[in-house]
Amino acid sequence: MSYVIATEERPALPVRGSNDLFPVRRVYCVGRNYAAHVLEMGHDLKEPPFFFQKNPDSLLASGGEFPYPSKTNNVHFEMELVVALGKGGKDIDQKNALEHIYGYAVGLDMTRRDLQGEMKKLGRPWEIGKSFDHAAPCSEIVSASECGHPNKGRIWLTVNGETRQDSDLDKMIWNIPETIEYLSGLFTLAPGDLIFTGTPEGVGPVVAGDQMHGGVDGVGEIKISVV
- Per-residue pLDDT averaged across 166-191, rounded? 96
What predicted TM-score, i.e. pTM, was given to this entire model? Answer: 0.95
Q: What is the pLDDT of residue 46?
A: 59
Taking 80 as the threshold, does the pLDDT of residue 16 lie above it?
A: yes
Tens digits of per-residue pLDDT, 93-146? 999 999 999 999 999 999 999 999 999 899 999 899 999 999 999 999 999 999
**Percentage above 90 pLDDT, the chain:** 88
Of the given ranges (45-49, 178-182, 214-218), which has the lowest mean pLDDT?
45-49
Average pLDDT of the chain, as a whole number? 94
Tens digits of per-residue pLDDT, 27-79? 999 988 887 666 666 666 657 788 999 999 999 999 999 999 999 999 999 99
Q: What is the pLDDT of residue 34?
A: 87
Q: What is the pLDDT of residue 39?
A: 60
Cα–Cα distance measured from residue 40 to residue 133, given in angstroms and rounded to the nearest whole number: 27
Q: What is the pLDDT of residue 31?
A: 85
Contacts (Cβ under 8 Å, ≥6 apart) of 164: 77, 157, 158, 202, 203, 204
- Per-residue pLDDT averaged across 205-223, rounded? 98
Burial class (CB in 10 A: 0-12, 13-18, 19+), 51: middle
Backbone angles phi, psi at 31, to 5 degrees: -90, 140
- Per-residue pLDDT averaged across 186-215, rounded? 97
Question: Could you give all domains of the chain from N- to C-terminal order, each with its CATH number?
Answer: 12-226 (3.90.850.10)
- Per-residue pLDDT averaged across 184-213, rounded? 97
Q: What is the pLDDT of residue 43?
A: 60
Taking 70 as the threshold, does the pLDDT of residue 207 lie above it?
A: yes
Q: What is the pLDDT of residue 22?
A: 98
Q: What is the pLDDT of residue 73?
A: 96
